[in-house]
Amino acid sequence: MAFAVSDVVNPTVSDAVEAAEEEDLRPWQTDRNRAPVATKILVAGGFGVGKTTMVAAVSEIKPLETEALMTEASVGTDDITATPGKTTTTVAMDFGRITLDDDLVLYLFGTPGQQRFWFMWDDLARGAVGAVVLADTRRLKDCWPALDYFESCGLPYVVAVNHFDGSERFEPEDVREALSIPPAVPVMIMDARSRISVIETLLGLVGHALEALPE
């Protein structure tokens, strides 16, 4: 029986490496012997403070967003005075992923901000090492529930002040005093639209969590 010789050359290891480099894959994605350090981070705060924007700005994968159109049912419940252009709201969670180092992967879970969805926080917080609490200086009281929650459950957190266009600028220490934030909790200024700014905040949280959590 005659056999046909294929002209297709089997890919070599170098070909696979080149393909991986072209796709910008991380070492833990190509080496089965290397397991990444997976870390769960919560992103919390009041309604319309920028949680979905923050996750989308930094995620290296297409973020999962559970945004729903706001209807007449939200009238009198969701205060959009400070965000008049907002037409959608998160009804479950936002989810994204970012690799900070070759083997350190952060999984971001954005919590819903409205009171009627707070029942989900316990499930979302399970297994998390820390949280970023976003604050809008035009309505600082909106982040009090998140601050109280993380204080009560002992989860390390940082406060990130997300200044909106046209809002008055305040120094971190002014925000700390206004919210009565403990001295050990970092307070930072962040632009939720900026990938670099968000990464700096996440690095600050990881460092704070490492110091706060027992070994």
Confidence of residue 10 (pLDDT cuts 50, 70, 90): very low
The sign of the torsion formed by the CA atoms of 177, 179, 184, 189 equals negative
> What are the tens digits of pLDDT across the range 140-186?
999 999 999 999 999 999 999 998 888 888 999 999 999 999 999 99
Exposure class string for 79-116: b at 16+ Cβ within 10 A, else e: eeebbeeeeebbebbbbbbbeeeeeebbebbbbbbbee
Strands (DSSP E) along 57-181, which ranges?
Answer: 64-69, 88-99, 104-110, 130-135, 157-162
Q: Is 106 helix (H, G, I), strand (E, B) or coil?
A: strand
> What are the tens digits of pLDDT across the range 94-133?
899 999 877 789 999 998 866 666 678 888 899 999 999 9
Domain residue ranges of the chain, discontinuous segments joined by +:
36-212
CA angle 37, 95, 151 (to 5 degrees): 75
Confidence of residue 79 (pLDDT cuts 50, 70, 90): low
pLDDT of residue 186: 97
Q: Output DSSP code: residue 81.
A: S
pLDDT of residue 17: 38
Gap between the Cα atoms of 46 and 159, Å rounded: 12
Q: Does domain 36-212 have CATH number 3.60.150.10?
A: no
